[in-house]
A and B are shown apart, each in its own frame.
Chain A
Amino acid sequence: MATTVFKRPASLSTNVTHYCPGCTHGVIHRLVAEALDELGLRERAVGIAPVGCSVLAYNYFTIDFQEAAHGRAPAMATGLKRTRPELIVFTYQGDGDLASIGTAEIIHAANRGEKITVIFVNNAIYGMTGGQLAPTTMPRQVTTTTPRGRDVAEQGHPLRVADMLATLRTPSYIVRTAVHTPAMIVEAKRCIRRAFEYQAQGRCFSLVEVLSTCPTNWGISPAESTAWLQNNMVPYFQIKEFKSPEAEG
């Protein structure tokens, strides 16, 4: 008798994504969908899409969605979750959206301990606008607005969001993970699932930072991109759990 071992999660739609070859947004979408399905949260989940490559994320899910202005997703999630606490509310944001124009919103949502889940996709560049400097761009990384590479004397050092949010006193689940290897994909899934569990239990704010690739704007192949992520991003953006409500006691 045939047994189904792999299928499309109910939370994921049948639409073909617009993402570039080698981009990991599709993988992360699937991990979010799997987590919602497995935890039985699909029917009360609401996603908030960002501005950036994943602005159209709602096309790839079957759950309710709101579309935010640049960086404001945590404020919208706050408004929704506070007035409908029974919903499972998550934002899905890139590094330009969350770590540049939306820094105030993410810090204060975390500090208030909003019972929301933030999926933070960090690929060290602005994707949708065509490869400009992001707060997370690596030193000497070439972008269209740093044609000679990021000069830390001019543009500062890459912003480590998970590390920064972990310094807040408010209990939360803050973790950095990645999806550039099969093992890391499994690990990222575990983190995303755990973040949604905390929300379902009404426990705490959670942020899962996912190191991601952007072959198109990095100007290298998908295979080279996973190596570049490992060699350049991982040493600086440490993959680890920074904070959890259990550790807080």
Chain B
Amino acid sequence: MGERLLMKGNEAIGEAAILAGCRAYFCYPITPQTEVAEYLAKRMPEVDGVFLQGESEVAVGYMLFGAAAGGRKVFTTSSSPGVSLMAEAMSYLAAGELPVVIGNVMRNGPGLGGILPCQADYFQATKGGGHGDYHFLVLAPSSVQEAVDMMILAFDLAEKYRNPVMLLADGMIGQMMEPVEIPDFPEVRSANIAGHEDWATTGACGRKQHLVKTLYLKPEESFAHNLKLKAKYDRMEAEEVRFEESDTEGQLDALVVSFGTMARICQTAIESLRARGLKVGMLRPQTLYPFPGQRIRELAGQARMVFSVELNMGQMVEDVERAVQGRAPVHFYGKTGGLVPIPEEVAAAILAKVEG
């Protein structure tokens, strides 16, 4: 059993990275994730780690590139407009097969938007964000505890696939204080990426040159590189889909699909609907890429209708519709701009369709 602490989400995310063995963090301040940086500014030197505040999120993205290409575990955190600035590096990181971790503590957009919780970066996180065909593996925590567990998982998955992983949290997770159990690992995890000896730029001493690059001028080589990346994404789709399900047995009046903070609110809404005798179940994707489409398709076959409930104007709903493939009507309910619906609003929206 690990230590049980009351921690703010942003600080817990920072501590979890240290537990995962990460000893390098590059950052740029932006609300509502700045506490990760402030926490690690104190904490990293205590574990002989590197903390550096870069000149911009653009530069920070490449500081990750340089460190990861040298074989070190490395991460950053930012919030929506900052992640947009990193989008260029995100494409290069994926192309260079660098296992970095990026945390996005989402705020409302578009543009500067505001500093309140939001889930409007779903498209950016799951469909790319930068140029070219690539994917980050995307994890979506719905509690501070899960943010801790997923940060550790993020480093493991990044290493397993040599692919960037994004922790897609929102301002609520970052700012909220909750009890967390910090896992108690028997030994300190390595600050190096496993297997980096085969490819990292650590000096060509007694071996041939190692090169981390993303340029493939010959079309056949570029195509082959894309096929190699695609094979990794296919493997993620086969092996890494994660989700949580509740009340999904038997025939359902409605299936709710929701992630992160919004899923917790949906859970309360569903309890009130079930108390009224309605059969409402929920599937909460924990990985947004790869998306649990297959399970949603199965559940859609036993539901009268499916809801995608999100803190945005309707993004994940496109993946839900694609998964359902017409087996049941798909409805969207959501709010954005930093407004977070209360359970009664969600329940009323579902009720209106179910009884409508």
Contact = CB atoms under 8 A, between A and B. Distances in A.
B220 interface: no
B301 interface: no
A43 B66 contact: no
A78 B202 contact: no
B203 A77 contact: no
Contacts of B58: 72, 75, 104-105
B209 A76 contact: no
Given A66-B213, A108-B54, A79 B203 contact: no
Contact of A105 (B24, B55, B72): B55
B211 interface: yes
A66 B202 CA distance: 11
Contacts of A43: 203-206
A185 interface: no
Interface residues of A, number: 36
Given A67-B215, A76-B66, A105 B205 contact: no
B44 to A, nearest CB: 11
Interface size of B as a range? 35 or more
Contacts of A67: 211-215
Contact of A78 (B52, B89, B92, B213): B52
B59 A84 contact: no
A72 B62 contact: yes
A61 B201 CA distance: 13
Nearest to A42: B204
B26 interface: yes
B56 interface: yes
Contacts of B202: 46, 64, 84, 87
Interface in A1-22: 13
A79 B56 contact: no
B65 A76 contact: yes
A129 interface: no
Interface in A83-113: 83-84, 87, 104-105, 107-108
Interface of A: 13, 42-46, 48-49, 55-56, 58, 61-69, 72, 75-84, 87, 104-105, 107-108
